Structure 1
């Protein structure tokens, strides 16, 4: 942290060198499609190791270059980044400061990120709203249209789920989706739906609906909105962006239960949803030895991945482990970097062995405008070419090797 840009930083390489580092594992221009339960690109099966870097839509060109050059140097093929920023309270430069009002100047960063990704041969996944109040999210829509607000977080609020059912909110979300998908990028000259750099649009980041544990409300909303997005962007893929909860009533294990009103199999099976997503955070979900004696974080995660990949095959859909993360907690579960590296290696090898369509770790970050590294806000940060001894260099290598294996 805080080290100046120096020798060894990917930022000092010419952009052609960054491309060459991972070019053999990255698609170059065609749309990604789905055929017989697999991704296809340029006529061949497409599997990828990728990442998340949510902040590209709100940062300087320097920071966008830093993150995407590092992704390219690691050989990562797909990056997931936010395409929303709702209201001035939760976003530095809101894309949608008020309902139906869009700040074209604020869209500069997102436009540039798409342009930069295209130069590097990286595909993007763009979610259109957040379940959580970061960058506004569903809670901002509820506040705008219903005047309801709450200090608690995201899906914990009593009013959150009105986002899915209120007619005016649904119309505003549809309009924002149409604006993003149909806007002309100032750097590429292409509308977003014309640009194969955008692999997929996602309906939301981690949608939850705790007021209806049956899952019906969320399934109805996803059916309506996925059809809307598919009409707007027929050549690109559509995903829900959910965490993969199974929605099983009475199940004692939280991620398999109906607690959040998410039924992953029904969401993934929707006709206008092209591929299934699932996330993996055992520590945040209470799947640890301290919470449940005898539980192994890595082993629990292996079973979670296996079940989703096998169930996705039954559905005939590609499945992507699109977020996963483990914190080093200095306790018995994950005491050090070596233990985390081993867990990531075990998880990604299952994706490789079980014909998973892709994986995207949380979270690749890089340098900020003063040359230091983006802060580790959540304990999941991975950096590339960081000269500080207390960094995640070994973890980044594990994930880069996985991306190479997926590209073969």
Structure 2
């Protein structure tokens, strides 16, 4: 019987926790992660994800003026000590005309590869493997902050739209980006990048990506939506399915060993249509959900005390809906992004995190209940890891040329959602959750 969220929190104090230690820290990865129904498995044991988002890992890993390998090693050590065993990182970034995109990218404006940044990804994967971590490699982005599908579409057509342009209010950007799916030239450019990445051999380890168990999955894109408005979704959805299925087939032909993920937010990406989510995952190995209560107007940043109770209910309902979707597909579910502001929506690492802590507890209780009852929810990745980075400017905005990368991408206030290395309460929450990842297993978690 599935435990209620509150019941589970009480049960989590049981003696079974005594044997739990930080999962996988300090261990080399031991075999490919595979799917068995609603479970992920590695070496005959359920693989439970205690994850974080660290989109900028390749940038730090680059042996270039914009890189910082020493910091990358420190950040990975911090995360491993917390018990984090999976990082979701960018394996893409497209330079182009969009005003809020990170630069440099994996590909330059003319589409040519940036070898230094790709080698930075090699370095990051190699170091993650040394710490027993796996990577989700994201192959593009629906949003503008890494260039993404809008930039690929610009390379194909010469036209582009900036997110947040007053002349094109929401959902114009999402509708325009969805035109990517039906554009043959743009899709061919995307497929070229996919082939280059999936066929790559790691310059640090000499291991082909396809043969590297440190890779958990290839992800088609960050938050790919079939459109923004109802009309755009209706127009684009068939091409959306076709792009998903074609990309999945391409990757599997190049790499039969690794899992595939879509990177979709869930029903928030489909105007609430669960059928689109199910169909989109037909040829995908596991379901993803993202949860953003502030961005989705479930809570008010300047009134968290009053708005969080309703936000909590909506969070629980969203999780339950996606558990139902994943169970109907007999596939695992990972909440691979979940983010919440600091108290009073402050950005400083000195600001308190009381309501963020409550939000994380809600997510982690649901994941831990899934671990115990064998349901589809098998892990999560918080958004995001800021680590030792600090905002470089008084207005907490990222400026081109800044090198203090953090989990809040360049179009957002620096410190909005990410967790700093000084956030002791948040770090303790993550660590305690990692210690519970052996709940219900026959043996204690590896040290």
Shorter-chain TM-score range: 0.7 to 0.9
Q: Which residue of 2 aligns with 1:29?
A: 30
Q: 422, 425, 437: which one pairs with 1:406? A: 437
Q: 238, 242, 246: which one pairs with 1:220? A: 242
Q: Which residue of 2 aligns with 1:77?
A: 85
Alpha-carbon distance in 2 for matches of 1:340, 1:374 = 18
Q: Confirm or deny that 1:301 pairs with 2:301.
A: no
Unaligned runs of 5+ in 2: 1-20, 61-67, 165-169, 346-350, 372-376, 393-402, 409-413, 440-447
Change (3 A) 1:397 1:24: same
Q: CA shift at 1:22, angstroms?
A: 4.7
Change (3 A) 1:93 1:147: same
- Assess if the C-alpha contact under 8 Å between 2:50 and 2:380 holds in 1: yes
Q: CA shift at 1:173, angstroms?
A: 0.6
Q: CA shift at 1:329, angstroms?
A: 4.6
Alpha-carbon distance in 2 for matches of 1:286, 1:372 = 29
- Assess if the C-alpha contact under 8 Å between 1:50 and 1:360 holds in 2: yes
Unaligned runs of 5+ in 1: 1-19, 249-253, 387-391
Q: CA shift at 1:159, angstroms?
A: 3.0
Q: CA shift at 1:58, angstroms?
A: 1.4
Q: Which residue of 1 aligns with 2:125?
A: 114
Q: Which residue of 2 aligns with 1:195?
A: 212
Q: Which residue of 2 aligns with 1:287?
A: 298
TM-score, normalised on structure 1? 0.82
Q: CA shift at 1:91, angstroms?
A: 3.5
Alpha-carbon distance in 2 for matches of 1:345, 1:25 = 26
- Assess if the C-alpha contact under 8 Å between 1:58 and 1:92 holds in 2: no
Q: Cα RMSD (Å) of the superposition?
A: 2.9
Alpha-carbon distance in 1 for matches of 2:131, 2:43 = 16
Alpha-carbon distance in 1 for matches of 2:296, 2:268 = 14
Counterparts of 1:158-197 in structure 2 under 5 Å?
159-197=176-214
Q: CA shift at 1:213, angstroms?
A: 2.2
Alpha-carbon distance in 2 for matches of 1:364, 1:160 = 28
Q: Confirm or deny that 1:65 pairs with 2:102.
A: no
* CA deviation string 1:359-408 (max 9, x = no partner): 00000122359998948625111123x2xxxxx21012112211221244
Secondary structure, in 3 states, of the residue corresponding to 1:398?
Answer: helix
Secondary structure, in 3 states, of the residue corresponding to 1:80?
Answer: strand
Secondary structure, in 3 states, of the residue corresponding to 2:57?
Answer: helix
* CA deviation string 1:178-203 (max 9, x = no partner): 10111111111012111110110000
Q: Which residue of 2 aligns with 1:389?
A: none
* CA deviation string 1:125-163 (max 9, x = no partner): 011001111121111111111010223359732532221
TM-score, normalised on structure 2? 0.75
